[in-house]
Amino acid sequence: MKFILFSCVSCLWLLGSTSFAQADTSKYQLLWEIKPKNGATTSYLFGSMHSNDVRMFDFPDSLYVGFVKAQTVVVETDVAALFETYDVRLDPFLIDIIENTNDTEGTRTVYGSEDGRPQFLDAYFQELGYSSGKKVLTLETFEQQMVAATSEPANSTSNINLSPVRYSEEMFKQVYLQGDIVALTKMLKAQLKEQPGAYERLISDRNLKMAIGLDSLMRKTNVFCAIGSGHLYGSDGVIQILRNKGFTVRRIVPTHHVECEEKKILKNYPLYLHKNENLHFQIELSGKPTESKDNGFYKAIYVELGQGNTYEIHVSPGESDLEGCKMEFLVNRNYKIEEVALADGTIALEGVVKSKLLGYQWKRVFVKNGLTYELICYGGNKFMHSKRPQTYFNHFQTLPK
């Protein structure tokens, strides 16, 4: 799992939390304005990271301006590919929802913890792109990132490994806090020194491919692009490659104003409306889910990758026997099956189930229009003991057949 996360971030341990307002802005090099020779478009390039630390979401004013004006949002890869692939919770079976009914301690996740933002930063920008109706593009496929992470040089017998660790995560966070991409790059090279060819495979080779993709896009449209900070600096970095291609690239000194109008616009983007007229339902989610269908069984899944909370919608042909469904639910001194009357009078069953693969889950099931609907959600301690499962259930609406 470690090599996958490293690849997606392009410098996972480099990218921690930041609060630009309190940092020395003289070294800040995370946000760049980019223009082609004719100056027809203005684009922004931001050094991103896979972390959901709340401090890193305090962006400079110019980032809000660039995002709002952008016609196209570009990220490294489609992070939604992780929705079906990985459970980003750590030790989900240690979440003892049955005994600790008042447990509100935030649990750790792969990308941070429940005390952070719902998404890590890359996913946040992709999510905002969809919610704001902008065109969302990626510079790499998820499969291409996996190839970069798992390809082995001729004199190596293992995948990318960050051991022995030269710098702690906190050390990298402190450097990122200053936006010092020069120091970050030096630390990254030192971290990968023991892996021959790793830096070239993970960083240099991919820098060129990313810059080529951005070259064609930034000449035609206003782009907001977020890529791992490890790709920005150096003679082989994306910034220098774009300069070599004739772009004017300008570092933006961060400023913060409480009344930044674009900040208000960004924070007021609506939730993403997911609608399926064939299956007669709609629901508002924080971002765009992934969908699949197999032998009539439909599944949509959306994951808050930062906090590790997962939301699933299952729709099956035919009307299941609700009495038989009751056998799935846990019944004890803390939990029982609830019979809930929906807005249209439909009766639903709601409660806690335990999956052999995923641990404890909240579930609501009901039948309507010749279909069986199952709404499932699960996460860490705070999520499982909160009202968020019921909020999710109640956002789901069936549509007239």
Q: What is the mean pLDDT of residues 377-395?
A: 93
Which of these, 181, 178, 148, 183, lies nearest to 167 by C-alpha position?
A: 183
* pLDDT recorded at residue 104: 74
Which of 11-20, 73-82, 255-264, 349-358 comes out lowest in average pLDDT? 11-20
Check pLDDT > 80 for residue 227.
yes
Q: How many whole angstroms from its chain centre is CA 301?
A: 13
Query: Over the stretch 104-118, which tens digit does the pLDDT of each residue have?
Result: 788 899 998 999 999
CB 287 within 8 A of CB 127: yes
Tell how strand 135-138 and strand 72-75 pair up: parallel
Six token digits for residue 74: 């570009």
Does the structure show a pLDDT above 80 at 361? yes
- The one-letter amino acid at 83: F
Q: What's the whole-number mean pLDDT along residues 153-161?
A: 41
Share the mean pLDDT of the chain: 86
Within 10 A of 57 (CB to CB), how many other CB atoms are there?
Answer: 15
What would the pLDDT profile of 278-295 be if each residue is shown by its tens digit?
999 999 999 999 999 999
- Within 10 Å of residue 5's Cβ, how many Cβ atoms? 17
Q: Which domains does the chain have, with CATH numbers?
A: 2-77+139-266 (no CATH), 272-398 (3.40.1000.10)
> pLDDT digit string (tens) for 332-342?
888 889 999 99
For 22-38, what is the mean pLDDT?
Answer: 83
114 near 381, Cβ under 8 Å? Answer: yes
Whole-model pTM?
0.86
Please report which confidence band the pLDDT of residue 267 belongs to, taking 50, 70 and 90 as the band edges. Answer: confident
Residue 22's pLDDT is 43
Contact 122, 48 (CB under 8 A): yes
Is the preceding omega at residue 164 within 30 degrees of 0, hence cis?
yes
Q: Which residue has the tokens 């719902």?
A: 118
State yes or no: pLDDT of 193 exceeds 70. yes
pLDDT(370) > 70: yes
